[in-house]
Amino acid sequence: MMKAMSEVQDLVEEATFEFTLGNNDEALEKLQAALTLDANSFEAWHALTEIYFSMGKLDEALEAGEKAHSISPEDVHINTSLSRIWVEKGDKEKAEHFGAQARMLGWKREIKEKKDA
């Protein structure tokens, strides 16, 4: 189990690197391989969301983003990503919903960090 998690993390990191080099197809292949190993990898789904979004593939980005959100709805970053996707798709209400969620989660995190400090 730990080996698979490590492999998934390695693939996500490699995909991110490929993406930064502009190798979107290679990045997508690595993320698909990661999801074959762990279909519930939040990191892989979120990376897939961002790559599809950057490519202008909004429907694919939304599908991946919704999957990531179902795994980790309290993540600030996926809520921000979903807000950005909905802005691009022209749905102001949904964009505002996810934007508000991201802000609220960010505030919660700040409050917790201050308490823990």
Q: Do residues 85 and 61 make contact, with C-beta atoms less than 8 angstroms apart? A: yes
Residue 39 CB neighbours (<10 A):
11
Amino acid at 52: Y
What pLDDT is stored for residue 65 in this prediction?
98
Mind listing the pLDDT tens digit for each residue in 41-93? 999 999 999 999 999 999 999 999 999 999 999 999 999 999 999 999 999 99
| Average pLDDT, rounded, for the chain | 94
Q: What structural domains does the chain harbor?
A: 2-116 (1.25.40.10)
Mind listing the pLDDT tens digit for each residue in 16-41? 999 999 999 999 999 999 999 999 99
**Cβ neighbours of residue 1 under 8 Å, at least 6 residues apart?**
none
Say if residue 113 is exposed, middle or buried (CB neighbours under 10 Å; 0-12, 13-18, 19+).
Answer: exposed
Mind listing the pLDDT tens digit for each residue in 1-13? 566 678 999 999 9
